[in-house]
A and B are shown apart, each in its own frame.
Chain A
Amino acid sequence: MKQMHLAAHFPGVNSTTVWADPRSRSQIDFTSFEHLARTAERGKFDFFFLAEGLRLREHNGRIHDLDVVGRPESLTVLNALAAVTERLGLAATVNATFNEPYELARRLATLDHLSAGRAAWNVVTSSDAFTGENFRRGGYLDRADRYTRAAEFVSTARELWDSWAPDGTSRPFAHSGRHFEISGEFTVPRSPQGHPVVIQAGDSDEGREFAASTADVIFTRHGTLEAGRAFYADVKARLAKYGRQPDDLRIMPGVTVVVGDTDADAEQDAAEIRRLQVSPQNAILALEQVWGRDLSSYDPDGPLPAVDPDPGSSIVQGRVRVADPLGVAAKWRALSESKGLSIRETVIESTVRQSFIGSPETVAADLEKFVATDAADGFILVPHLTPGGLDDFVDRVVPLLQERGAFRSEYTGSTLRSHLGLAEPVWKG
Chain B
Amino acid sequence: MSATRPLHLAAEIGGPPRYDAASHVALARLAEGGALDFVTLGDSFARPGPDALAVLARVAPATSRIGLVPTVTTTHTEPFHISSAVATLDWVSGGRAGWQADVSTTEAEARLFGRRPAAPASALWQEAGEAADAGARLWDSWEDDAEVRDAATGRFIDRDKLHYVDFEGSTFSVRGPAIVPRPPQGRPVTVIDGTSGPAREPAARYADVVHVRATSPEQAASLRDDLRRGAAAHGRDPDSLRVLVALTVDLGDAETAPEPGLESGPQLAGRGTYFRGGPVDLAELITQWYQGGAADGFHLTPITPERDLERIVNGTVALLQHRSLFRTFYPGGTLREHLGLGRPANRYAPARTPEGTS
- Chain A residues within CB distance 8 Å of chain B: 19-20, 28-30, 34, 53-56, 62-63, 65-73, 75-77, 79-80, 82-84, 98-100, 102-103, 106-107, 109-111, 113-116, 133-137, 170, 180-185, 187-189, 279-282
Contacts and interface: CB of A to CB of B under 8 A. Distances in A.
Contacts of B329: none
Interface string B142-173: 10000101010111111100100000000111
A103 B47 contact: no
B61 A84 contact: yes
A271 to B, nearest CB: 19
B111 A187 contact: no
B352 interface: no
B156 A19 contact: yes
Nearest to A283: B154
B111 A114 contact: no
B179 A80 contact: no
Contacts of A106: 45, 50-51
Nearest to B60: A80
A100 B151 CA distance: 41
B70 to A, nearest CB: 10
A281 B50 contact: no
B19 A113 contact: yes
A385 to B, nearest CB: 14
Interface stretch (B76-84, B224-232, B265-273): B76-84
Nearest to B97: A76
Interface string B173-192: 11111111100000000000
A53 B157 contact: no
Interface string B203-244: 000000000000000000000000000000000000000000
B78 A135 contact: yes
8 contacts: A65-B156, A73-B180, A77-B57, A102-B112, A107-B54, A110-B50, A136-B171, A187-B17
B180 A72 contact: yes
B336 to A, nearest CB: 18
A117 to B, nearest CB: 12
A4 B25 CA distance: 35
Interface stretch (B88-96, B247-255, B289-297, B311-319): B88-96
Nearest to A21: B151
B48 to A, nearest CB: 5
Interface in B79-132: 80-81, 84-85, 87-89, 91-94, 108-109, 111-115
Contacts of B179: 53-56, 70-71, 73
Contact of A136 (B51, B157, B172, B181): B172
Given A73-B85, A170-B48, A110 B54 contact: yes
A124 to B, nearest CB: 14
Given A19-B156, A63-B159, A83-B61, 19 more contacts: A34-B61, A55-B179, A56-B177, A63-B162, A70-B179, A70-B181, A73-B87, A76-B85, A76-B89, A79-B54, A83-B58, A98-B78, A98-B81, A109-B50, A113-B20, A115-B21, A134-B78, A185-B48, A188-B51
A59 to B, nearest CB: 10
A328 to B, nearest CB: 23
Contacts of A282: 154
A321 to B, nearest CB: 20
Contacts of B25: 83
A257 B112 CA distance: 45
Nearest to A67: B156
A185 B49 CA distance: 11
